[in-house]
A and B are shown apart, each in its own frame.
Chain A
Amino acid sequence: MTRICRAIVIRQDDVDTDVLYPGAYLNVTEVEKMVPYLFEGLDPSLRDQCQGDTVLVVESNFGAGSSREHVPQAMLASGIRFVIGKSFARIFYRNCINLGLPALVAPDAVDAARPGSQVAVDLDEGTVTVDGERFDLAPIPDFLRDMFAAGGLVPWMRERLAAS
């Protein structure tokens, strides 16, 4: 079971990575300097809601568009520990997994969550708990479980490169 995280919620389908982190700031490479631009084109007040351990709750096709890794990098640096959604756009999903930020599919949990909800995930059990109510996560392939366990693609690769 993960530690309990406080939910911030985005109730919109097809949220693109341009509004999550506008293109003008893509020449920023230091992670801590990306944080002030997270959610800039969507709702900058969401940044203030990231206080301590946070879970981001989103709707369908979240993270559409650009491959910019600035989005999940800034999320991690803002205290977002995992993302729960109805579905994710492919590159955003990959980027989250690769950075050790689990992006998890659990539509019923998304519907149940409210801003400020207390949310915890049990990856072994495949469940997510929202304000005490438990929901199933969509099945997670073993490959991705390994990636979660490693902490992302960097440590996963480091281990394999060292062994080869």
Chain B
Amino acid sequence: MAHTLAEKILLAHADVDEVAPGDIVMVHCDVVMTNDISGPIAFRAMERMGADRVFDPSKVVVVPDHFVPAKDTRSAELQKLLRDWSAAQGVTYYEQGRGGIEHTVLVEDGWVVPGSVIAGGDSHTCTYGALGAFGTGLGSTDIAACLASGSFWQAVPGTIRVEFTGTKGPYVTGKDLILAVIAEIGVAGGTNMALEFVGDGAAALTVDERLAVANMAVEAGSETGFFPADETIAEYLDGRTDRPWTAERSDHGADFAQSLRIDLDGLAPLVALPHSPGNVVPLDQATGRRIDQVYIGNCSNGTITDLRQAAEMLRGRKIADGTRAIIVPASQRVYRQALAEGLLDLFVEAGAMVSTPTCGACFGGGGGVLGPGENAITTTNRNFRGRMGSSEAGVHLANAWVAAAAAVAGEIVDPAELAEAG
């Protein structure tokens, strides 16, 4: 029987002989990840399940990243709890200053390989789909079950095949591709589905661009979203991991619930207007909006690729009066790379603030939350009302070129025009 890639991965991780969409199966994890928000509640639930040890310490990763560095004593207590629990359980723990944002860290450090199943106590665990993994975001009680037994329950998803064709133009990035998908199917269009990204346009994307695409699969309501592994991924993983993996694809003749094609020729940069990631318009319908704060970072678009794009816009220019910019490398590794390339100096010279890696203001946790009436443009993944602070603030989602150009202009502009203006 022909299977989709999602079905193949789940078949290889469940004690069943066959799967079909809608079947509920217990799925065995290759990696279980949690953080300073989902972790403490999960540890308590695990105890209540009667488990005092994790199923396999070598498969558990703990990354404090949300309220990091601690914004108050309560956050510090959570981080201490995480640190102590990790030591007691003998699991891998990324101390602050040695990791960064969880999803970036797990990808960089070789925890993620194609075909693996990763359960994470964070909705953006789907990011691992960039490498062809089945990463899925879970709540604390699910994570508790994963910690205790290594398994979670999962309804086998259908698959929406998303084919990217053509070649993307200048100032278009992975962010625009996934915003185009969400615009097409809507914020609930992926419910009970996995998104599978294929086609020449997908194959041409770098790992950083794929991270941006896979990261926001959850913003379409999907269970997860992934790219079948290819040479780009093999090259990326070479020397990064000793975990075995094979490149799998959906079988010829596999049954897709839906297929859509997005032509990258002629695709403009896109902007998601407040207050939904599905509220997507072409850039030219968003220009002229005044911007108080620019935020470049987070698990979707805080990569070195994003920082280089921002640097290209900010090089030799200044942040506009009345506008502030916060740049948040997604990991210590990205931070050092940016440092080595002179990007951090360039950002500071332009008048931007450079933050240590953190989830920070992306979810309103700290380090740049918005006040009432303020407008922001960000490379983050959610612009729900109140997401970044005041419920009277507006957040626009865009790629790093567009966000950085807005920092210079003080309003949303076309980065191509800024570049031409010199």
Determine if A154 and B121 form an interchain contact, defined as CB atoms under 8 angstroms apart.
Answer: no
The 8 A CB mask of A143-158 against B (1 = contact, 0 = none) is 1100100001110011
Determine if A23 and B363 form an interchain contact, defined as CB atoms under 8 angstroms apart.
Answer: yes
The 8 A CB mask of B24-59 against A (1 = contact, 0 = none) is 100000000000111011001100111100000000
Task: List residues of chain A with CB within 8 A of the CB of B24.
Answer: 141, 143-144
Residue B355 is within 8 A (CB to CB) of chain A in the complex:
no
Residue B175 is within 8 A (CB to CB) of chain A in the complex:
no
Residue B114 is within 8 A (CB to CB) of chain A in the complex:
no
Determine if A61 and B187 form an interchain contact, defined as CB atoms under 8 angstroms apart.
Answer: yes
Residue A53 is within 8 A (CB to CB) of chain B in the complex:
no
Contact segment of B67-75, B103-111, B238-246, B314-322:
B67-75
Determine if A24 and B192 form an interchain contact, defined as CB atoms under 8 angstroms apart.
Answer: no
Measured in the bound complex, the distance between the Cα atoms of B22 and A36 in whole Å is: 37
The 8 A CB mask of B75-101 against A (1 = contact, 0 = none) is 100100000000000000000000000
Number of A-B contacts (CB under 8 A): 141
Known interface pairs A29-B78, A154-B45; A18-B382 also in contact (CB < 8 Å): yes
Residue A27 is within 8 A (CB to CB) of chain B in the complex:
yes
Residue A16 is within 8 A (CB to CB) of chain B in the complex:
yes
Residue A50 is within 8 A (CB to CB) of chain B in the complex:
no
Known interface pairs A60-B188, A90-B191, A95-B141; A158-B49 also in contact (CB < 8 Å): yes
Residue B387 is within 8 A (CB to CB) of chain A in the complex:
yes
Known interface pairs A41-B385, A90-B221, A91-B139; A161-B50 also in contact (CB < 8 Å): yes
**Shortest CB distance A82–B (Å):** 17
**Shortest CB distance B259–A (Å):** 21
Task: List residues of chain B with CB within 8 A of the CB of A99.
Answer: 141
The 8 A CB mask of A80-94 against B (1 = contact, 0 = none) is 000000010111001
Query: A110-164: which residues lie under 8 A (CB-CB) from chain B?
Result: 141, 143-144, 147, 152-154, 157-158, 160-162
Known interface pairs A19-B384, A89-B191, A157-B49; A67-B123 also in contact (CB < 8 Å): yes
Measured in the bound complex, the distance between the Cα atoms of B146 and A157 in whole Å is: 10
Determine if B191 and A18 form an interchain contact, defined as CB atoms under 8 angstroms apart.
Answer: no
The 8 A CB mask of B217-248 against A (1 = contact, 0 = none) is 01101010000000000000000000000000
Task: List residues of chain B with CB within 8 A of the CB of A79.
Answer: none
Determine if B384 and A16 form an interchain contact, defined as CB atoms under 8 angstroms apart.
Answer: yes
Residue A54 is within 8 A (CB to CB) of chain B in the complex:
no
Residue B368 is within 8 A (CB to CB) of chain A in the complex:
no
Measured in the bound complex, the distance between the Cα atoms of B262 and A109 in whole Å is: 38
Residue B176 is within 8 A (CB to CB) of chain A in the complex:
no
Task: Pick from B122, B221, B278: contact of A67, CB below 8 A.
Answer: B122
Determine if B191 and A87 form an interchain contact, defined as CB atoms under 8 angstroms apart.
Answer: yes
Task: List residues of chain A with CB within 8 A of the CB of B223.
Answer: 90
Task: List residues of chain A with CB within 8 A of the CB of B276.
Answer: 14
Residue B201 is within 8 A (CB to CB) of chain A in the complex:
no
Task: List residues of chain A with CB within 8 A of the CB of B61.
Answer: none
Task: Pick from B49, B75, B141, B384: contact of A27, CB below 8 A.
Answer: B75
Residue B333 is within 8 A (CB to CB) of chain A in the complex:
no
Determine if A157 and B139 form an interchain contact, defined as CB atoms under 8 angstroms apart.
Answer: no
The 8 A CB mask of B177-189 against A (1 = contact, 0 = none) is 0000000000110
A-B contact pairs, 22 of them (CB 8 A): A13-B188, A16-B382, A18-B386, A22-B364, A23-B365, A24-B369, A26-B37, A27-B67, A27-B78, A41-B385, A65-B382, A67-B38, A67-B139, A87-B191, A89-B191, A98-B142, A99-B141, A141-B155, A143-B153, A157-B49, A157-B145, A161-B51
Binding site for B on A (CB under 8 A): 13-14, 16, 18-19, 22-24, 26-29, 41, 60-61, 64-69, 73, 87, 89-91, 94-95, 98-99, 141, 143-144, 147, 152-154, 157-158, 160-162
